């Protein structure tokens, strides 16, 4: 190998990490690096290795035995909300996932479609007459939080509190230091109280469903139900913000593809999958830890080492995708890893697809001449290791009436 590895995790890298990932895939496909936090971890960048690693039972998701403060994953000390699906292994994972799957079914999501449409239209009504908007603040950010609050059964009058806490948790709001920890604390207290209330007076919402769900006579404890509600919120929020934000951004950068989609809305399902592959919300899958010495792509990983699967690199692997750097909304055989793979495959994928298709489809229909109102080089991306998303997405368009056509 002659060239040096590219600089990872710089500001330039954040705005376009794909050339650096192409270099790694080619020259150092399983690469040990020092993360900005100081932790050493392995990055897995090729599609075949990534898919295998995501399904490898020797890679544990349980941070309590491995995590240091530097991983940013709270360890044993903050058990409670953190003992959720993405931090546990079988057999606990199998039991909890089976229980939640009973309450959160594709049917639950399908029945929710009119509500998502209503929310989408209401948010577009908020800026349609103005001729300009920031699509992150006014559209991509509020839609998923209100959607998930409705689905969980958070009463309307409490949803703005949730919006503030969630904003703080993705560093979206401007707040004092320690604001994130305080927001998690408030959310924990609120969820515990809400679960208590729903136990006495159940409704037809997801929290009541989680309390009711039973499998071979087993139920979720109140703590498990709270952790489950929290992970649904946490895993389903920033991801969907980024799906809408990155998706609309890439359509605006590829006007021919955008016009093609606007003219043929039946392309929405494959188009959203392609946007997920091309510039997906989750850049790196969540932390995994080697429980035994193992080999990935010819590299020996010692027991105990953290492994990060780079979904954004795997989904641009030319060994798996034809012309991987081309956005092709009609791409066939698009088995991207944007929702992960294996037992931790995204539980919320049907809801994410519904929200992504509704948001992007409705926006193109109601605001067809949407244009980017900033130089792409000036746009700022949120920091953070796992997620990839814009801080703002300024757009302009011909002002139009608020009522949907
Ligand atoms: C897991 C992506 C939306 C709930 C995952 C994983 C990925 C992912 C990559 C696996 C992480 C890993 O293995 O390290 C996405 C994307 C979304 C999205 C790209 C939006 C476009 C949602 C929504 C919900 C949700 C809307 C729920 C409301 C979950 C849960 C898990 C998960 C609960 C953990 C599953 C388990 O460990 O068994 N998601 N997600 N996600 N996602 Fe999503």
What per-residue confidence (pLDDT) applies to 320? 98
The answer to the question of residue 401 being in a domain is no
Alpha-carbon distance of 391 to 242, in angstroms, equals: 10
Alpha-carbon distance of 346 to 74, in angstroms, equals: 22
The answer to the question of residue 193 being in a domain is yes
The answer to the question of residue 356 being in a domain is yes
The answer to the question of residue 209 being in a domain is yes
Give me the domain span that covers residue 347.
21-396
The answer to the question of residue 151 being in a domain is yes
Tens digits of residue pLDDT in 178-229: 677 788 888 888 988 999 999 999 998 999 999 888 777 778 888 888 889 8
Can you spell out the DSSP letters for 76-142? GGGTTTT-SGGG--TTHHHHHHHHHHHHS-HHHHHHTHHHHHHHHHHHHHTTTTTSEEEHIIIIITH
Ligand 1 pocket test target in 85, 250, 348, 389 with most atoms within 8 Å of CB: 348
**CATH number of the domain residue 174 falls in:** 1.10.630.10
The answer to the question of residue 381 being in a domain is yes
DSSP run (H or E) holding 400: none
- Closest C-alpha to 15, from 394, 395, 309, 375: 375
Q: Examine the pLDDT at 307 and tell me if it is beyond 90.
A: yes
Q: What is the CA(97)–ligand 1 centre distance, in A?
A: 12
* Ligand 1 pocket, residues with Cβ under 6 angstroms: 54, 85-86, 97, 148, 231-232, 235-236, 239-240, 243, 276, 280-282, 285-286, 338-340, 344, 346-348, 351-352, 356
Tens digits of residue pLDDT in 105-150: 889 999 999 999 999 999 999 999 999 999 999 999 999 999 999 9
Q: What is the CA(345)–ligand 1 centre distance, in A?
A: 7
Pairing of strands 40-44, 306-309: parallel
Alpha-carbon distance of 130 to 19, in angstroms, equals: 37
Number of domains within the chain = 1
The answer to the question of residue 3 being in a domain is no
Alpha-carbon distance of 151 to 134, in angstroms, equals: 26
Share of residues in the chain with pLDDT > 70 (%): 92
Angle between helices 255-263 and 349-366 (to 10 degrees): 90
The answer to the question of residue 404 being in a domain is no
Q: Is the ipTM of this complex over 0.85?
A: yes
Tens digits of residue pLDDT in 218-239: 788 888 888 898 889 888 999 9
Please, are residues 89 and 344 in contact by the beta-carbon 8 Å criterion?
Answer: no
């Amino acid at each position: 190998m002659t060239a040096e590895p590219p600089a990872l995790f710089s500001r330039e890298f954040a705005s376009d990490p794909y050339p650096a990932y192409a270099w790694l895939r080619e020259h150092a496909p399983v690469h040990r690096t020092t993360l900005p936090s100081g932790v050493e971890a392995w990055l897995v960048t090729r599609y075949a290795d990534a898919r295998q690693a995501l399904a490898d039972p020797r890679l544990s998701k349980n941070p309590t035995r491995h995590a240091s403060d530097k991983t940013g994953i709270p360890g044993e000390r903050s058990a409670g909300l953190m003992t959720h699906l993405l931090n546990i292994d079988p057999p606990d994972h199998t039991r909890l996932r089976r229980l939640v799957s009973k309450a959160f079914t594709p049917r639950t999501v399908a029945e929710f479609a009119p509500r998502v449409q209503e929310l989408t239209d209401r948010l577009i009504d908020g800026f349609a007459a103005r001729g300009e908007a920031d699509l992150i603040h006014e559209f991509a950010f509020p839609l998923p939080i209100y959607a998930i609050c409705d689905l969980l059964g958070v009463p309307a009058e409490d949803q703005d509190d949730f919006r503030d806490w969630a904003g703080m948790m993705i560093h979206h709001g401007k707040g004092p230091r320690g604001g994130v920890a305080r927001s998690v604390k408030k959310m924990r207290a609120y969820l515990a109280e809400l679960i208590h209330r729903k136990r006495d007076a159940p409704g037809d919402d997801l929290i009541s469903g989680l309390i009711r769900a039973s499998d071979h006579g087993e139920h979720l404890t109140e703590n498990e139900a709270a952790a489950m509600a929290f992970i649904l919120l946490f895993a389903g929020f920033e991801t969907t913000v980024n799906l809408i934000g990155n998706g609309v951004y890439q359509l605006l950068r590829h006007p021919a593809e955008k016009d093609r989609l606007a003219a043929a809305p039946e392309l929405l399902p494959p188009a959203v999958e392609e946007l997920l592959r091309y510039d997906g919300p989750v850049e790196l899958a969540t932390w995994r830890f080697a429980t035994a010495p193992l080999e990935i792509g010819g590299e020996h990983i010692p027991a105990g080492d953290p492994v990060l699967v780079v979904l954004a690199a795997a989904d641009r692997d030319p060994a798996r995708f034809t012309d991987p750097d081309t956005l092709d909304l009609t791409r066939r055989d698009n088995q991207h890893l944007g929702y992960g793979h294996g037992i931790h495959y995204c539980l919320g994928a049907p809801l994410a697809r519904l929200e992504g298709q509704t948001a992007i489809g409705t926006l193109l229909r109601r605001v067809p001449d949407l244009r980017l109102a900033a130089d792409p080089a000036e746009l700022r991306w949120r920091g953070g290791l796992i997620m990839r998303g814009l801080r703002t997405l300024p757009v302009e368009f011909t002002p139009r009436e608020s009522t949907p056509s």
